[in-house]
Structure 1
Amino acid sequence: MEFHMKEIGFYTETANGRLNIAGDEEHGFRPFQLLVSSVAVCSGGIMRKILEKKRIPYEDIHIKADVVRNPEKADKIEKIHLHFTLTGIEISQAQMEKVMALTAKNCSMVQSVMESIEIEETFEIK
């Protein structure tokens, strides 16, 4: 990837268009938002693949990400809590716990940050 400076922040061109990144939300995605999004969406995508591979039907996966940052350490992200809400799924608690463990194990973004950021993953079925 290549990043180009603009008046406020930077941008990169991707196959899906221009991605603006800046410390100010009015001018692009904030870097911490991209990091949290990467962890959340990677986890969701892996979960989706696991459910499909196990032939467990579902209607929707919603992910809520809560972030704890430390203002004493340059607003370092210290914890990301991912809460998955699955709808239209019939799965036992034990099966879902196995899916969650496989999701964390196989998500490259979770594996990349787990030594420096606490990742907590919970779920509910509606």
Structure 2
Amino acid sequence: MQANVKWVEGDTFIGLSNSGHNVVFDAGSDSAAPSPMEMVLMSAGCCSSVDVVSILKKAKQSFSDVQVKLTAERAESAPRVFTKINLHFVVTGNDVSEKHLARAVQLSAEKYCSVALMLDKTVEITHSHEVVQEQVK
């Protein structure tokens, strides 16, 4: 895997992935785009969400929405690394099994999510989840 990051101006950079996709980063106070640390946090959430969705589909669960709410704490001084991350999954659907969701989150955390497993070497990562019954329209 390869990538390229190019400085644009100020604290703004554009990353180009090997697959040809551009991503804007902003490391300053301008907030023109997510910071590199925000991207790492969102990457952990996306990676784990891919696993959870795949596992729930294989378990034939009827769901219409999957969200992961990420919270993180960082060290007070430089380097301001993550010290804690929680991934809270909220799955909306029709009779989604709590047991299946718990298993999907566990498998992602322990076996499949390469981003979170890599971060887990130095960050305390926790997971939680909830099922929201879909409202009948």
- 1:18 Cα offset (Å): 3.2
* Residue 13 (str. 1) matches residue 19 (str. 2): no
Alpha carbons 2:98, 2:131 under 8 Å: kept: no
Tell me the distance in 1 between the aligned counterparts of 2:100 and 2:8.
48
Change (3 A) 1:17 1:110: closer
Q: In structure 2, how many angstroms separate the alpha carbons of the residues matched to 1:95 and 1:20? A: 36
Q: Unpaired runs of 5+ in structure 1?
A: none
Deviations 1:52-108 (A, max 9, x none): 112112110111101111113422111111111111142443332212111212111
Letter in 2 for 1:6: V
CA RMSD of aligned residues (A): 1.8
By percentage of residues, which structure has more helix? 1
| 1:125 partner letter | V
Whether the 8 Å CA contact 1:3–1:11 is kept in 2: the answer is yes
Q: Which residue among 98, 103, 106 is the counterpart of 1:98?
A: 103
Quote the sequence identity (%).
22
Greater Cα offset, 82-91 or 116-125:
82-91
Relative distance call for 1:113 and 1:97 in structure 2 (3 A) is same
Aligned pair count reads 126
Query: Quick check: 2:56–2:101 contact (8 Å CA) kept in 1?
Result: no
2:56 is aligned, of 51, 54, 68, to 51
What stretches of structure 2 of length at least 5 have no aligned partner? Answer: 133-137
- Cα deviation for residue 113 of structure 1 reads 1.0
For the residues of structure 1 that align with 2:103 and 2:21, how far apart are their CA atoms? Answer: 37
Counterpart in the other structure of 1:117: 123
